[in-house]
């Protein structure tokens, strides 16, 4: 049931504070402010040399963000691939390694094949999965459930942020086990995660602004999304969300890659959505934004108050996000990115919940 919402996608976007809180509660001991993985692991984080991740689409972007977290907080190297490549490229995998597959449906053919390949190669398989009765959940050694509830809209929203919440918990648990994070650092990260639902509610208030902005976006042919660090996978996710439901062509790029090609596309017709919380790479992203501005590009900046004060150039629109710990920005910045795609699709009059040519569960390769 859609309740008061026009589309399942809108309902599911607005459910995120609640389902992310629910998911976090599953992985966090609130009283002690520690991460507590719900099951005994059949492997030892301290003995791992490397983690491999495979997934498709939006779940793959969640995995890309997890790579940044696991490498930073647990000093554990991560390789990641889209499952359709991973399953055939015959990657050599370390003895007793860890394979993480991520899937909302738990039925995606390529992701399942990656799981099976990894098992044959003697890997421990962890599945971050939303449907607990799915094939992927059944075949994995360890299941890390995302508690998003049923996701009906074809475009993944709440499953994505619940995947991020789960993967953040895994990264922190690995960091603690490996002695990379101190108890104090763990507490800081846990406190930051616990703030996410409240911050998501704040971010959802950008609905009207993104709706206004969507009128301009719905008139263009192409949109470019830029981000650095953990905002880079979010740029990819923003572009995917926009193209799949509004049918407007969009590309996501690492901000630093701009000058290696895509800058040639910039003119006064193409909006460039820059995802740039005020974090350790903010200044670098700003200089990329200046390159866009100097070529007459139309900038839509998603940042916080401090970021807006430091961005000394004119934008077509600046969406102001609440202040937050840089560790959790991908979870909260996902919201304006989803809202913009949603409102643009509504403007275009497309079938938001059932976009053409797409299926909710891709069980053939």
Least Å from the CB of residue 296 to ligand F6R:
32
Cβ-closest position to ligand F6R: 57
**Given 104, 146, 285, 344, the residue binding ligand F6R (CB under 6 A):** 104
Binding window for ligand F6R (CB under 6 A); candidates: 102-110, 139-147, 267-275, 349-357: 102-110
266 belongs to the binding site for ligand F6R (CB under 6 A): no
Q: Which of 141/244 has CB closer to ligand F6R?
A: 244
- Looking up tokens 């409240």 gives 198
Q: Pattern 120-139, binding to ligand F6R, x per CB under 6 A?
A: --------------------
**From 32-40, 46-54, 55-63, 348-356, span contacting ligand F6R (CB under 6 A):** 55-63
Nearer to ligand F6R, 13 or 240 (CB): 240
- CA-nearest of 72, 32, 320 to 199 is 320
The Cα–Cα gap between 47 and 207 comes to 46
Select from 156, 210, 285, 303 the one that contacts ligand F6R (CB under 6 A).
156
What is the 3 state secondary structure string of the chain? CCCCCCCHHHHHHHCHHHHHHHHHHHHEECCCCEECCCCCCCCCHHHCCCEEEEECHHHHHHHHHHHHHHHHHHCCCEEEEEHHHHCCCCCCCCCCCEEEEEECCCCCHHHHHHHHHHHHCCCEEEEEECCCCCHHHHHCCEEEECCCCCCCCCCCCHHHHHHHHHHHHHHHHHHHHCCCCCHHHHHHHHHHHHCHHHHHHHHHCCHHHHHHHHHHHCCCCEEEEEECCCHHHHHHHHHHHHHHHHCCEEEEEEHHHHHHCHHHHCCCCCEEEEECCCCCCHHHHHHHHHHHHHCCCEEEEEEEHHHHHHCCCCCCEEEEECCCCHHHHHHHHHHHHHHHHHHHHHHHCCCCCCCCCCCCCCCCC
- Based on the shown chain and the rule CB under 6 A, indicate whether residue 58 belongs to the binding site for ligand F6R: yes
Task: Give CA–CA dist 298/289, Å, rounded.
Answer: 10
Does position 235 bind ligand F6R by CB under 6 A? no
Q: Is 308 in the site for ligand F6R (CB under 6 A)?
A: no
**25-33, 54-62, 203-211, 250-258 -> range binding ligand F6R (CB under 6 A):** 54-62
Interacting residue with ligand F6R among 51, 56, 224, 242 (CB under 6 A): 56
How many chain residues touch ligand F6R (CB under 6 A)? Answer: 15
47 has catalytic annotation: no
For the bound state, the minimum distance from the C-beta of residue 193 to ligand F6R, rounded and expressed in Å, comes to 22
Which of 16, 52, 84, 105 is the binder for ligand F6R (CB under 6 A)?
105
Stretch that binds ligand F6R, among 98-106, 142-150, 273-281, 317-325 (CB under 6 A): 98-106
* Residue 252 touching ligand F6R (CB under 6 A): no
Contact residue for ligand F6R among 14, 16, 57, 251 (CB under 6 A): 57
Q: Which is nearer to ligand F6R, 107 or 141 (CB)?
A: 107
Q: Which residues in this chain contact ligand F6R in the complex, by CB under 6 A?
A: 56-59, 103-105, 108, 111, 155-156, 240, 244, 361-362
Residues belonging to the active site: 360
């Amino acid at each position: 049931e859609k309740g008061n919402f026009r589309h399942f996608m809108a309902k599911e976007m607005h459910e995120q504070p609640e389902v992310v809180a629910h998911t976090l509660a599953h992985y966090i001991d609130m009283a002690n402010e520690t991460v507590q993985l719900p099951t005994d692991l059949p492997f030892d984080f301290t003995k791992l040399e490397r983690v491999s991740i495979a997934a498709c689409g939006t779940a793959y972007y969640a995995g890309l963000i997890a790579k940044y977290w696991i490498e930073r907080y647990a000093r554990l190297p991560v390789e990641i691939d889209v499952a359709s490549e991973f399953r055939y490229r015959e990657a050599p995998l370390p003895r007793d390694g860890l394979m993480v597959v991520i899937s909302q449906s738990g039925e995606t053919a390529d992701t399942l094949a990656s799981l099976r390949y990894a098992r044959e190669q003697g890997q421990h398989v962890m599945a971050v999965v939303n449907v607990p009765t799915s094939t992927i959940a059944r075949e994995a050694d360890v299941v890390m459930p995302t508690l998003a509830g049923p996701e009906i809209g074809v475009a993944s929203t709440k499953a994505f942020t619940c995947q991020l919440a789960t993967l953040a918990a895994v990264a922190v648990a690995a960091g603690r086990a490996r002695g990379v994070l101190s108890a104090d650092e763990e507490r800081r990260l846990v406190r930051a995660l616990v703030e996410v639902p409240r911050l998501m509610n704040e971010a959802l208030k950008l609905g009207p602004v993104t709706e206004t902005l969507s009128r301009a976006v719905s008139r263009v042919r192409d949109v470019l999304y830029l981000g650095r660090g953990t905002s880079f996978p979010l740029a990819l996710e923003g572009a995917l969300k926009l193209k799949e439901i509004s049918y407007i062509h969009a590309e996501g790029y690492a901000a630093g890659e701009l000058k290696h090609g895509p800058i040639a596309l910039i003119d006064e017709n193409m909006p460039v959505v820059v995802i740039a919380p005020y974090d350790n790479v903010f200044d670098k992203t700003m200089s990329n934004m200046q390159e866009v501005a100097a070529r007459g590009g139309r900038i839509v900046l998603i940042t916080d108050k401090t970021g807006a004060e430091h961005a000394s150039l004119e934008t077509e629109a600046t969406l102001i996000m609440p202040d937050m710990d840089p560790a959790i920005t991908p979870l909260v910045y996902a919201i304006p990115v989803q809202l913009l795609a949603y409102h643009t699709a509504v403007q275009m009059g497309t079938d938001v919940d059932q976009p053409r040519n797409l299926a909710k569960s891709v069980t053939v390769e």
